[in-house]
Copies of this chain bind each other. A is one copy, B any other.
Amino acid sequence: MGNEFRLSDLAARIGARVVGGEGEDAVVSGVAPIEEAGPGQVTFLANRKLARFARDSNASGIIAREAVPGAHTAFLISDNPYLAFACVVEMFHPPARFTPGISDKAAVDPSAHLGKDVTVSPCVVIEEGAEVGDRTVLFPGVYVGKGVSIGSDCLAYPNVVLYHGVKVGSRVILHAGCVIGSDGFGFAPTPEGFRKIPQVGTVEIEDDVEIGANTTIDRATLGVTRVCRGAKLDNLIQVAHNVVIGGNTVIAAQAGISGSTRIGSRVMIGGQAGLAGHLEVEDGILLGAKCGVPDSLRASDSRVWSGIPVMPHPTWLRLSALMPKVPELFRRVKRLEEGKNQKGET
């Protein structure tokens, strides 16, 4: 929106070197995807598959690990183009500013403690004894239950629900409709039907976590369901009671983690993956999309797992390729049983 920079400004900010094109004095006024970027725009190339777009591009600059032969545009050479791109996008699109203050259409309990420059939008409800840190922004319809504590510089988008007692760190982003602290799913069978096990634990979300839209994180039966520092959760994920998600772990949309399971640090979980309860996934493990994990996984057995149930990823790849040929395998075995199809026969 009116921001203009020279390529040299961008390069200085991201520690890149400018090569080719019209040189580092070219002026750019925006970012665009590589398929669409034109003159006056900068783009990035993180995925080699898209190199053909770089060759034909009229963009004024492309952030990339190395120049693409045959391209006539300028390149900003960076070791981590994706990160460099994040920084450049922020130069053109600085984070939204909010006007602090408490809407008269919000309902804030007098015993709640709000920090400096908090934004409390219309239709926000903050219950007894809750604490909200400095500069945190609560969008409309956010519910902050009794005794909840939220740190500073958080963003809670519309209709986020924090049940009573939940703790949220600083610089946490909670997307619309996510629910933190709903009751864990526990019932004791009795002759008259199921009896609810009171869920009297809580949830703790540590600093720098991001939680996706409509994701649900249940409170512990006793103790704490915990999402550790820097973890990133996508939309529509289910995290059951007493789960622990390690630091800097990344979970894609619609994955589900059953009760009391412990996920290590720097784990990556694909979309729609499902993990059974009471198991452990070691640090650094990668779980493929849609996989099913019935038991604990050790990194020493395999770093990447896929399939239902999971197996080491290379095995899954071989199996996947062969699955459509299984019906033919049945026919081949039948022929063998009939004594056909062998060397020297038929």
Which residues does A use to contact B, with CB under 8 Å? 31-33, 36, 47, 49, 80, 82-83, 85-86, 89-90, 92-93, 95-96, 103, 105, 107, 121-123, 125, 139-141, 143, 157-159, 161, 163-164, 173, 175-177, 179, 182-183, 185, 187-190, 193-198, 200, 208, 210, 212-214, 216, 218, 220-223, 229-230, 232, 234-236, 238, 240, 242, 247-248, 250, 252-254, 256, 258, 271-272, 274, 276, 278, 289-290, 292, 294, 307-309, 311-312, 315, 318-320, 322-327, 329-330, 332-333, 336-339, 341-344
Contact = CB atoms under 8 A, between A and B. Distances in A.
Contacts of A85: 188, 197
Contacts of A143: 139-141, 158-159, 176
18 contacts: A80-B189, A80-B190, A82-B197, A83-B189, A83-B190, A93-B198, A95-B198, A107-B122, A123-B123, A161-B176, A161-B177, A185-B232, A238-B254, A256-B272, A290-B292, A290-B308, A309-B320, A315-B327
A83 B31 contact: no
Contacts of A248: 193-194
Contact of A218 (B96, B235, B343): B235
Nearest to A187: B232
B308 A318 contact: no
Given A107-B122, A159-B143, A274-B290, A338 B327 contact: no
A292 B343 CA distance: 39
B235 A238 contact: yes
Given A86-B196, A179-B214, A253-B258, 12 more contacts: A85-B197, A122-B123, A182-B235, A185-B212, A187-B232, A193-B229, A193-B230, A194-B250, A290-B292, A309-B323, A326-B326, A337-B342
Contacts of A229: 193
A141 B159 contact: yes
A145 to B, nearest CB: 8
A128 B315 CA distance: 54
Nearest to A158: B143
A196 to B, nearest CB: 7
Nearest to A199: B89
A329 B332 contact: no
Contacts of A344: 339
A216 B216 contact: no
A198 B183 CA distance: 33
